[in-house]
Amino acid sequence: MTEFQHDPYREDRPDNPVEPLLRMDRMPSIWCPGCGIGTTVNCFARAIEKIGWDRDNMAIVSGIGCTGRVAGYAKADSFHTTHGRAIPFATGLKMANPKLNVVVYSGDGDLSAIGGNHLIHAARRNLDITVICVNNFIYGMTGGQVAPTTPPGAVASTMPFGNYDPAFNLPKLVASSGAVYVARWTAFHVRQVSKAMKEAMLKPGFSFVEVIAPCPTLYQRRNRLGDGLEEMKYYKEKSVKMNGADPSDPALDLRMRETIGVGKFVDLDKPHYVDAMNDYYETRMGDQYTRYEG
């Protein structure tokens, strides 16, 4: 067996309330200074704590990329899968054990580019999982290439003269595909992010939380947008609360240095996939059918 150095992480400091959700033996994380992913994980830990979920009955699934590393730091059953395929892995987990609380935690490129097909189909099915998408507008792990979320004009390593490739409005995409809960906040809005995550996880069906987060190393720097703190100031000053807005409102499209529409856009009730299957089979087959519970 490979020996590993157990590095007691700052044993001297008082207990941090989010520690129970983290694999402290894997700290410090790989994320850059000023990165927003850690902030979202903090919000996530607090949301779990608020819900009071039994972490023994919870699975976290990530794809590949910077946010894809979240599963590796989360102290629950956690699965670091392939690029773009966290949602179908989560689909297998949830179908095989519908009692398991399943959260997919990944980035914008992972979920909406390579994994876009799975995103829309899981939403269409209204599979009872929560997808948390940290959107930093860029492929961070591979060095800052253009993503389907990169705003118009932004410079990326593969858009050296600025981006001409149209971007997704993710809330619109998932809402039109059938999601029952859709919210967008920024890494500045820690309370709202935590609350949205909590609501999303408690929502039966497909729920989606987009968190806009800084990537100072690759997105901000290359676009001369300042450091992580500058970006937080921008989020604070330019965010516009649009709770209840139609997700296809053009005001929710994202542009550099312009306003960011945030809020909860969708919150509705609809039977989730396994319940719908069970109800349907019961109607069709009557006593011959036993409800599937895993």
Interface with other proteins, residue 272, by CB under 8 A? no
Which part of the chain contacts other proteins (CB under 8 A), choosing from 76-84, 152-160, 179-187, 204-212? 76-84
In DSSP terms, which residues pair with 27 in a beta bridge? none
| Closest to other proteins by CB, 116 or 153 | 116
Interface with other proteins, residue 161, by CB under 8 A? no
Q: Phi first, then psi: give them for residue 106, nearest 5 degrees.
A: -155, -175
Interface with other proteins, residue 56, by CB under 8 A? yes
Please, which of residues 85-114 interact with other proteins by CB under 8 A? 85, 87-97, 99-100
Q: Which of 37, 59, 173, 252 binds other proteins (CB under 8 A)?
A: 59
Interface with other proteins, residue 176, by CB under 8 A? no
A 10 A CB-CB count for 191 gives: 10
DSSP 36-56: SHHHHHHHHHHHHHHHT--GG
Smallest separation (angstroms) from other proteins to the CB of 67: 14
> Which of 56, 57, 53, 47 has the alpha carbon at shortest distance from 18?
47
CA-CA distance, 258 to 244, in Å (whole number)? 20
Interface with other proteins, residue 2, by CB under 8 A? yes
CA-CA distance, 112 to 248, in Å (whole number)? 17
Please, which of residues 186-245 interact with other proteins by CB under 8 A? none
Tokens 């899981």 correspond to 122
By rule CB under 8 A, what count of residues binds other proteins? Answer: 46
Interface with other proteins, residue 16, by CB under 8 A? no
Contacts of 8 (CB under 8 A, 6+ apart): none
Interface with other proteins, residue 18, by CB under 8 A? no
Give SS3 for 131: strand
Q: Contact residues for other proteins (CB under 8 A)? A: 1-2, 4, 23, 26, 55-59, 61, 71-72, 75-82, 85, 87-97, 99-100, 117-118, 121, 277, 281, 285, 288-290, 292, 294
